[in-house]
Chains A and B, each alone.
Chain A
Amino acid sequence: ELKVEQNPLFLSMQEGKNYTIYCNYSTTSDRLYWYRQDPGKSLESLFVLLSNGAVKQEGRLMASLDTKARLSTLHITAAVHDLSATYFCAVDERYQLIWGAGTKLIIKP
């Protein structure tokens, strides 16, 4: 059974701190996505990682992919309140996305 596991599932942190969300998966796929979801809203694409060693950065967020370890990380640098949301990783398996349970991130001023 294909599995995508995120941890932590819940994270409360102070503004200005750094933290990392981890995404482990059991498939051999080399295509992984990170999405953001605000309460009551749909999914916003953040990063598309398409090969081993891929690293992408946008503002205070940086994502990386290690296909050999079947691990992706989403690193948050100097968090700000606006980054509060739920973050999902999803693995492309024959064109369907298999999703993690999401990490609910709360950033306190």
Chain B
Amino acid sequence: GAGVSQTPSNKVTEKGKYVELRCDPISGHTALYWYRQSLGQGPEFLIYFQGTGAADDSGLPNDRFFAVRPEGSVSTLKIQRTERGDSAVYLCASSWHGGAEQYFGPGTRLTVT
């Protein structure tokens, strides 16, 4: 079956702009996660959804970052007033339920110029 998909694969934006990153999880997976990976580092947790609600958003770095999952499937990560330090690969993962094995998408490479 289809795996986790993310769009766009690459996004270049100017400092101060707004961006949206999309994640389509594996069908039937109730849990969805966002991570951020900077060059040469391990991923960093951002937020975890169980169904439609954010069960844990403790990893969001500040209030410029926001994520939604209105119907319990597709999720969108939104970044306002982007900064150069936001440049990274944003990874989405899904699992059958919270705590189950997480399957990762290909990521969106965000570059803020």
Task: Report which A residues bind B (CB closer than 8 A).
Answer: 4, 31, 33, 35, 41-45, 48, 88, 90, 92, 94-102
Name A92's closest neighbour in chain B (CB-CB): B99
**Separation in Å of the A27 CB from the closest CB of chain B?**
13
Report the Cα distance A33→B104, complex, angstroms. 13
List 6 contacting pairs A-B, 8 Å CB cutoff, sorted by A: A41-B106, A96-B59, A97-B33, A99-B43, A101-B42, A102-B40
Describe B's contact surface by its main secondary structure: loop
Flag if A101 contacts B107 (CB, 8 Å).
Answer: no
Task: Pick from A90, A96, A98, A100 the residue with the most CB of B within 10 Å.
Answer: A96
Task: Report which B residues bind A (CB closer than 8 A).
Answer: 31, 33, 35, 40-45, 48, 55-56, 58-59, 91, 98-99, 101-107
Flag if A99 contacts B98 (CB, 8 Å).
Answer: no
Name B33's closest neighbour in chain A (CB-CB): A96
Report the Cα distance A100→B40, complex, angstroms. 11
Report the Cα distance A100→B35, complex, angstroms. 14
Chain A residues with CB under 8 A of B43 = 43, 88, 90, 97, 99
Report the Cα distance A4→B43, complex, angstroms. 12
Chain B residues with CB under 8 A of A31 = 99
Report the Cα distance A102→B33, complex, angstroms. 20
Flag if A42 contacts B106 (CB, 8 Å).
Answer: yes
Chain B residues with CB under 8 A of A102 = 40-42
Chain A residues with CB under 8 A of B55 = 95
Chain B residues with CB under 8 A of A41 = 106
Report the Cα distance A29→B56, complex, angstroms. 17
Task: Pick from B42, B99, B101, B104 the residue with the most CB of A within 10 Å.
Answer: B42
Chain A residues with CB under 8 A of B91 = 42-43
Chain A residues with CB under 8 A of B40 = 101-102
Flag if A42 contacts B45 (CB, 8 Å).
Answer: no
Q: Of B42, B56, B107, which is within 8 A of A96 by CB? A: B56
Chain B residues with CB under 8 A of A101 = 40-42
Chain B residues with CB under 8 A of A96 = 33, 45, 48, 56, 58-59
